[in-house]
Chain A
Amino acid sequence: MFLFKRKRPVFQGGVHPDDRKQATSGLPIECLPMPARLYLPVQQHIGAAARPVVKAGDTVLKGQMIARGDGAVSAAVHAPTSGRILGVEPHPAPHPSGLPVETIVIEPDGEDRWLEDPDPEHALNLEPEAIARRVAEAGVVGMGGATFPAAIKLNLGSRHHIDTLIINGSECEPYLTCDDRLMRERTDEVVDGIRIMRHALGARRALVVVEDNKPEALAALQARLYEMDTIEAMAVPTRYPMGSEKHMIKAVTGREIPAGKLGADIGVIVHNVGTAYAVHRAVRMQRPLISRIVTVGGGAVQRPANLEVLLGTRVEDLLAHCGGTRQPPARLLMGGPMMGQVMPHAQVPVIKGSNGIIALTEEEINIGETMPCIRCGRCVAACPCGLMPLEMAARIRKEDMDGAVDYGLMDCVACGSCSYVCPSHIPLVQFFHHAKGVLGARREQQRRQEEIKRLAQQRRERQEAEARAKAEAAERRKAEREAAKRKAEEAKAARAAKAATAKETPKTPAADQAEA
């Protein structure tokens, strides 16, 4: 008997893209051989960049911290292997712009020597704060691609009442199978990570959510869960974007996060299965996050694979291991094809959030000619957020950003379902990104203008105060001068009078005194 009664999971809107997972879902995780160089950007997460604590020429051991988290929202970076620091310098980051960021370059020494060999620990005896601290020290971030520092979300249990921990194993993006393989091959570790997280959050129950196109992963999890755990693995329909936090919460708990709130506000926290694994490594084994599992796929790849890769390995090394590309990829993506980002080239490194390296062919992308909107409403039916993408796009096209906001632009999660189904091949998401950019810039400008206004106001007030003070001082001085003058005149007059009386009545001192 289950303690928790649930309705069948429902999912509103969304799309059903061809999942194209067959190429790699049957392939076990392989370890990528040690690359010649590792490139570790100090910014692999949402929040402030980490601060490097090593310099060129230092030698580091595997697992040694090389950049420290800076501020409340940040994450540390650790050396994925032992070796020498070649430099701390700008290198291209895995971002569509390809703009360089501060990167720590390591030359492995081939010994792969760990910093120390700590004993496994009984994590469930630890206080929740201690768990969160360990996770923070290990530099764990959301491994599903969100890359939000995981420790912060584990600490929410102290401020909110969390009753449900959801572990996202939906992997709703086409091509990606890294979470599937992780759940199948490292089930015990994942389940242990979930237990630790549930303990840290003080959540009453934990639900592992797996889309029903991964029956093996679901079976593997179910075989290792006990009812006493109040951890439950459940299948949900295969539907994109099931992995979106808001929509997963709605689908499995029936609760909807009010606009502007967080999952924690309604008692639910969502973590990825990859994060659960990383938490297990961090807390139980005391190992920092230095590697991750990456699916290399797409029609342009010679031999698709699931690879366990050290962070900082360049994409070209992964592709080379997979036999290179059959044809120059039309697009090289980091992440899945729905929300992944285009990489400018293959010389960017794998970072904490890289769940897939997907090299797509022209046919797979299926770029059609953009036609006018025919108002078919398919985008409306597909939008999981209940928005009207066609109306937002029509307003953005006319640069009417406020109109678009009125139609819910700020509620859009950029999942791309609308663009995916649009028969006119309108790049709707691109419109929304553009509009959000413009609005962001406008807000920034407004903020700056207000700042300027405030400063100007301050200066004016200061100047006025100064002027007033000056005027008052002048006034005072004038008054003093006049008073002095008057006194002098009076004195003069008195002297004159005295002289006169003295002449007339020379010897009358009494009168002289009385006048003075």
Chain B
Amino acid sequence: MTQTTPVSGPHTHAPGSVAWNMGWVTLALLPATAFGVYLFGWPALNLLLITILAAVLFEALCLRIAGRPVSPFLMDGSAIVTGLLLALTLPPWAPWWIGVLGAAFAIIVGKHVFGGLGQNLFNPAMLARVALLVSFPLEMTTWITPSPLFSEGAPGFLEGLAITFGLAAIPDAVTGATVLGEAQTGFSRDLGLSETLPGVYAPLQQALGFVPSSLGEGSALLLLAGGLLLMAKRIITWDVPVAMLGTLVILSTVFMLIDPERYAGPGLHLFSGAAMLVAFFIITDPVTSPSTVAGRLLFGAGCGLLIYVIRTWGGYPEGAAFAVILMNALTPLIDHYLRPRAYGRTRRGKPLPMKNTEAPAPAQEKRP
């Protein structure tokens, strides 16, 4: 006898693994990341690398402490994706310790406190971003007007290092505000959108990403392309992004029609403030979203709704992270109540009622 332990089927497997998925996510984020680095120059690159490196180191540390095998879990790439996603939501010229603290919070509190891969309730990157935003509001809202790499006035390599490590202050001239922030400030001064938006909002520029924004949220189009790639590769499902973006569009259109001075239109909502990043890369995180299609549609719609509410009436114009965290908290509930209907059973789990199979007579009658 050569084999004694019975092995259950299937004896073949679809291609793919966790590491494979994470690899594709990273790849899909690459264009937007590269563009962000190009727009915001050396300090942005420094911050990106520091955050990812910190995430990987903290992951290794946590695995070691938990006594788990380090290499297979490190190789799955989830820490890299978490670090990358976090970095993309940070202000591009934020100091190094913002990246390190954020990574620590994301990996330790956001992930390993819950029990590691697959166990966390909240999206680690979003949890870290919220924590940073609440703790360091100044650093987390210092937005930069794009100054592309090697362009005039852009910081060189050394200047970049100085900015990242806090040796040089960020010149006031380069800071700016995001569109959503601008609009909010306008409201507090009783200015309508028609007065605040000109000058800060040009739809094309916004979509392409030549605007003050966080490191990687700027280029809505590149993020959209990445998201579509992941959908085509079936790494992510269509339901969550469609539900979220759809809700956002419907809500913003309805309110814009009610009062165009007060409420921005769907274009601005879609192409600003991380909407694309959140829709395709954050709330599609398998761990923290529901596992059924119905659940994911509800989850996506909830995210869209909350993002709209927080942006429009809340205190944080860049508050998508709060919306995600809130919906993450609801995921277990959604999963509990929105189960699929099992074959041969009603939604409540009772066997289907028996239909009387009709007698053979009608068939004969129908015969011509």
Chain A residues near B (Cβ < 8 Å): 3, 15, 17, 96-98, 161, 163, 174, 204, 246-247, 250, 255-261, 265-267, 331, 333, 337-342, 344-345, 358, 360, 364-369, 371-377, 380-381, 383-388, 390-391, 407-408, 411, 414, 416, 419-421, 423-425, 427, 429-430, 433
Contacts and interface: CB of A to CB of B under 8 A. Distances in A.
Contact of A377 (B10, B290, B341, B349): B290
B342 A386 contact: yes
A338 B354 contact: no
Contacts of B342: 259, 385-387, 408, 411
Interface string B227-270: 00000000001000000000000000000000000000000000
Contacts of A381: 237, 293
Contacts of A408: 342, 345, 349
A128 to B, nearest CB: 15
B12 interface: yes
A425 B344 contact: no
B291 A427 contact: no
B136 to A, nearest CB: 31
Contacts of A407: 339
Interface string B342-354: 1111000101111
A174 B357 contact: no
Nearest to B73: A371
12 contacts: A15-B14, A96-B3, A256-B344, A256-B352, A258-B353, A267-B357, A360-B11, A376-B291, A377-B291, A377-B296, A387-B342, A414-B8
Interface stretch (B115-123, B178-186, B201-209): B115-123
B118 A375 contact: yes
B363 A419 contact: no
A429 B359 contact: no
B340 A388 contact: yes
Contacts of B363: 3, 163, 204
Interface string B214-233: 00000000000000000000
A380 B21 CA distance: 18
Contacts of A260: 344, 351
Given A161-B359, A267-B357, A377-B291, A372 B1 contact: no
Closest 3 CB pairs of A and B: A377-B291, A376-B286, A416-B10
A423 B18 contact: yes
Contacts of B293: 381
Given A256-B352, A258-B352, A380 B292 contact: yes
B6 interface: yes
B365 to A, nearest CB: 12
B135 interface: no
A261 B351 contact: yes
Contacts of A161: 357, 359-360
Contacts of A414: 8-9
A499 to B, nearest CB: 93
A266 B343 contact: no
B17 interface: yes
A56 B139 CA distance: 91
A427 B286 CA distance: 19
Most chain B Cβ neighbours within 10 Å, of A257, A265, A377, A425: A377
Given A266-B357, A377-B237, 12 more contacts: A3-B363, A3-B366, A96-B7, A255-B355, A342-B6, A344-B1, A345-B1, A377-B292, A386-B340, A408-B345, A419-B10, A424-B17
B188 interface: no
A342 to B, nearest CB: 5
B344 A246 contact: yes
A266 B355 contact: yes
A159 to B, nearest CB: 13
A267 B344 CA distance: 15
B16 to A, nearest CB: 5
A372 B296 contact: no
A377 B3 contact: no
Given A261-B351, A261-B354, A369-B72, A425 B13 contact: yes
Contacts of A386: 340-343, 345
Contact of A338 (B1, B10, B72, B296): B10
Contacts of A265: 354
B286 A416 contact: no
A414 B360 CA distance: 35
A360 B12 contact: yes
Contacts of A259: 342-345, 351-352
A381 B234 CA distance: 12
Given A267-B357, A425-B17, A256 B12 contact: no
A420 B11 CA distance: 8
Given A258-B354, A365-B13, A344 B3 contact: yes
A246 B351 CA distance: 14
A52 B249 CA distance: 75
Given A163-B357, A364-B12, A425-B17, A342 B343 contact: no
A358 B10 CA distance: 13
Contact of A339 (B4, B9, B14, B359): B9
Contact of A423 (B3, B17, B339, B352): B17
A340 B11 contact: yes
B12 A338 contact: yes
A256 to B, nearest CB: 6
A344 B286 contact: no
A376 B18 CA distance: 10
A371 B76 contact: yes
Contacts of B117: 371-372, 374
A372 B12 CA distance: 19
Most chain A Cβ neighbours within 10 Å, of B9, B72, B118, B353: B9
Contact of B14 (A97, A375, A421): A421
